[in-house]
Amino acid sequence: MRKHTFALVGAALLVGLPGCVNLDEDVVTGLTPGSYGTQAVFESLVNASYEPLRTFYAQERGFTVTEFGTDIFTKGADGSHKYINDYTTQLNPDAQFFRETWVDFYRAINTTNAAIDQAPVVVMDSALKAHRVAEARFLRALYYFDLAQMYGPLTLTLHETTSPTTEATRAPVDSVYDAIIADLKYAEANLPAVQKEYGRATRGAAQHLLAKVYLTRIRDADSAADEVAKRQAGDFANAADYAQRVINSGQYALLPRFKDVFDFANERNQEVIWSIQFTTDPLTTGTGNSGHLYFLAQYRTRVTTPSSRACGMPTMRRISRRTRKVSPSSGSATPRFMSRRRTPTPSWRGRSRTPCLHPAPTSGRPHHTRTTCFRP
């Protein structure tokens, strides 16, 4: 009987427990619906628009989807995603690296749209606000530019998505490029030549990307007709014009010694037009800057004998660097807009493995899975 009484009392306490629980919600982020339109949230949105860059640049994903399958490098015995190199039936729009890039970049685009849409109601210094809007439009253009090169026609959204939608319409490639160019022209007109915080977009970055966009834009599926159409549209002249603006700005210069570009202590130098910054915070930096892990020396510096091939001695091959380069860093990203061709100094830094895993192929083609080049 006593045990039965205790059981009844315990059951009654359990039934009454929910009535004593405090259901008030504690906001831990500090970002509530009423916060939108304030300077703090506006600045946070612009800053957050940079974060998705770290999922692509200086990462295996970015190198794989932009360089695999080209004459820059080919697959080796190890590594993954070889179907991107071989163009097999596994290569489709839902492949992991393409799917993840789509998701991350459209998330970024919606963040930039949110910042741009809120800007008119934000009360803050007008010059600083113009700079931040220009940063957001530069980043939106860059995300769309990368996606257009992968997918062609895209869903073109220039305003924040505020409600669920089950439909999407692909805009023609020309419309996508028109939006990209409009964003970059706005960015060029409103960005400063130098930012107080290193890593924010600058006028030179916008000009360089404009030159790249004009060169890349496809106007006809036939290569010969495309060249004629680009000349008639003034794409080549525009590309040259914006490239000259970067060159003549006085902000950038080639370093006297090419090896200094890769000096760990010299990441901020005159050759860098713009670089993506990583942090030491695991919440914002993702997997970190891993670009240096995918670059091994590929230079032929001596005659390779059959016996050296048999024992797996490294064969080094000359590959010229172009457009962007990546160097190792614990604190900052270094995919850098560059436009120079020189022969880099070989280095065995990076991956913790012996550099002679693969015997030299008799065909004379590069055989490592990594490369010394990176295309924007």
Task: Taking residues 184-213, report their average pLDDT.
Answer: 96
Q: Both tokens of residue 16?
A: 């009454």
What does the alpha-carbon distance between residue 243 and residue 324 come to, in Å, rounded to a whole number? Answer: 15
Is this structure's pTM higher than 0.75? no
Task: Taking residues 76-104, report their average pLDDT.
Answer: 85
Give residues with Cβ within 8 angstroms of 347, minimum separation 6. 262, 295, 297
Q: Both tokens of residue 196?
A: 């107080």
Yes or no: say if 171 and 144 are a contact pair by the CB < 8 Å rule: no
Long-range contacts of 225-231 (CB under 8 A, 24+ apart): none
Determine the straight-line distance between the first and last CA of the chain, rounded to whole angstroms. 80
Q: Where are the domains of the chain?
A: 35-160+168-337
pLDDT for residue 205 is more than 50: yes
pLDDT at 375 (0 to 100): 32
In Å, what is the CA distance from 93 to each residue of 33, 66, 216?
35, 14, 21
Give residues with Cβ within 8 angstroms of 65, minimum separation 6. 84, 97, 98, 101, 150
Q: Give per-residue pLDDT as tens, 117-168.
A: 999 999 999 999 999 999 999 999 999 999 999 899 999 999 999 888 888 8
Q: Which of 349, 371, 347 is nearest to 294 (CA)?
A: 371
Q: Give per-residue pLDDT as tens, 31-65.
A: 666 667 889 999 999 999 999 999 899 888 888 88
Q: Give per-residue pLDDT as tens, 333-366.
A: 433 333 333 333 333 233 332 222 222 333 333 3
pLDDT for residue 187 is more than 60: yes
Q: Which residue has the higher pLDDT, 33 or 185?
A: 185
φ, ψ of residue 144 to 5 degrees: the values are -65, -35
Q: Both tokens of residue 67?
A: 């360089």
pLDDT at 215 (0 to 100): 95
Q: Look up the CATH number of domain 35-160+168-337.
A: 1.25.40.390
Q: Which of 249, 181, 233 is nearest to 209 (CA)?
A: 181
pLDDT band at 371 (very low <50, low <70, confident <90, very high): very low
Q: Both tokens of residue 7?
A: 């059981």
What does the alpha-carbon distance between residue 155 and residue 158 come to, in Å, rounded to a whole number? Answer: 10
Distance, CA of 343 to chain centre: 25
Yes or no: say if 301 and 345 are a contact pair by the CB < 8 Å rule: no
Give the number of other CB atoms < 10 A from CB of residue 245: 17
pLDDT for residue 295 is more than 50: yes
Element spanning 39, H or E: helix 39-48
Give residues with Cβ within 8 angstroms of 223, minimum separation 6. none
Q: Could you list the beta-strand ranges (E) of 293-360.
A: 324-325, 336-337
Stated length of the chain: 376
